[in-house]
């Protein structure tokens, strides 16, 4: 089996949705440094709430695990998000003048609710593979976006107020996390998949990707 075969199959089957997500005007604005600060600040606030639900999704993955390897991976992801990534996010938001109490009190945007609850629904209704597919557009998509922006951004370094965000997702640490998830998709497919599941998996991946498009658009809309 080729490396990351399932992810590449899903991305190819959902090409239009993937392009709309990874080349959204929000993403392009990050690369040019011209994205509205209002849009970015709103995105950061909602992303704090998103991370909480992301951790919950990995808690569900732990419950759905069928062996110790899967259980350890899911438990490790919960700890990484709750004990590590949340603190990093709060620290980064502090640079934009956004405090944790403010983010915790923020009403959850419908676009945020749509994606996070969809992920949970797929995990509850299906198995570990369904849940991993629903999470994939976020985990792997940010790696692709970060790498693309690092190579193609028209504003780089200190002249771009969003360069630190770009650098975070282009960095080796995040790239390793993302592509480990892609490899996990292949392992889960080998254990639980089959040709009869492909249509359902493509539909889940496409739906989750469209919801990620809505997450970017949420920031644009907030800026008016």
Q: How many CB atoms lie within 10 A of CB 132?
A: 29
Among 199, 219, 195, CA closest to 207: 199
Report how far apart, in Å, the C-alpha atoms of 215 and of each of 8, 66, 74, 129 are: 23, 32, 24, 23
Over residues 6-31, the pLDDT tens digits come to 999 999 999 999 999 999 999 999 99
Rounded-to-integer distance, Cα 60 and Cα 169, Å: 25
Averaged over 151-164, what is the pLDDT?
95
Distance CA 42, CA 223 (A): 8
User: Average pLDDT, stretch 147-167?
Assistant: 96
pLDDT at residue 2 above 60?
A: no
**Domain spans, the chain:** 5-222
pLDDT digits (tens, 9 = 90+) for 105-142: 999 999 999 999 999 999 999 999 999 999 999 999 99
pLDDT tens digits, 60-87: 999 999 889 889 989 999 999 999 999 9
pLDDT band at 224 (very low <50, low <70, confident <90, very high): confident
- 101, pLDDT greater than 80: yes
How far is the C-alpha of 98 from the C-alpha of 72, rounded, in Å? 34
What confidence tier does 102 reach under pLDDT thresholds 50, 70, 90? very high
Q: Is the pLDDT of residue 203 over 60?
A: yes
Q: In this predicted model, which residue has the larger pLDDT, 196 or 33?
A: 33
CA distance 104 to 107: 8
Confidence at 150, pLDDT banded by 50, 70, 90: very high
The hierarchical CATH code for the domain 5-222 is 1.20.910.10
Say if residue 77 is exposed, middle or buried (CB neighbours under 10 Å; 0-12, 13-18, 19+): buried
Query: How far, in Å, CA of 190 to CA of 175, rounded?
Result: 23
């Amino acid at each position: 089996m080729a490396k990351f075969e399932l992810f590449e199959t899903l991305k190819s089957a959902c090409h239009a949705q993937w392009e709309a997500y990874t080349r959204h005007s929000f993403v392009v604005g990050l690369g040019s440094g011209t994205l509205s600060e209002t849009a970015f600040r709103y995105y950061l606030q909602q992303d704090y709430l998103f991370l909480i639900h992301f951790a919950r999704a990995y808690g569900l993955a732990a419950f759905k695990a069928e062996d110790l390897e899967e259980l350890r991976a899911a438990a490790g992801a919960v700890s990484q998000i709750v004990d590590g990534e949340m603190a990093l996010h709060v620290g980064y938001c502090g640079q934009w003048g956004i405090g944790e109490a403010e983010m915790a009190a923020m009403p959850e945007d419908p676009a945020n609710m749509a994606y996070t609850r969809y992920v949970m629904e797929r995990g509850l209704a299906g198995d570990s593979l369904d849940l991993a597919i629903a999470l994939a557009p976020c985990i792997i998509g940010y790696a692709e976006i970060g790498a693309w922006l690092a190579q193609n951004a028209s504003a780089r370094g200190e002249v771009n107020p969003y360069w630190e965000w770009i650098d975070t997702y282009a960095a080796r640490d995040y790239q390793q996390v993302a592509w480990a998830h892609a490899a996990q998709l292949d392992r889960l497919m080998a254990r639980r998949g089959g040709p009869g599941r492909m249509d359902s998996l493509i539909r889940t991946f496409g739906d989750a990707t469209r919801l990620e498009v809505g997450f970017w658009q949420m920031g644009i809309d907030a800026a008016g």
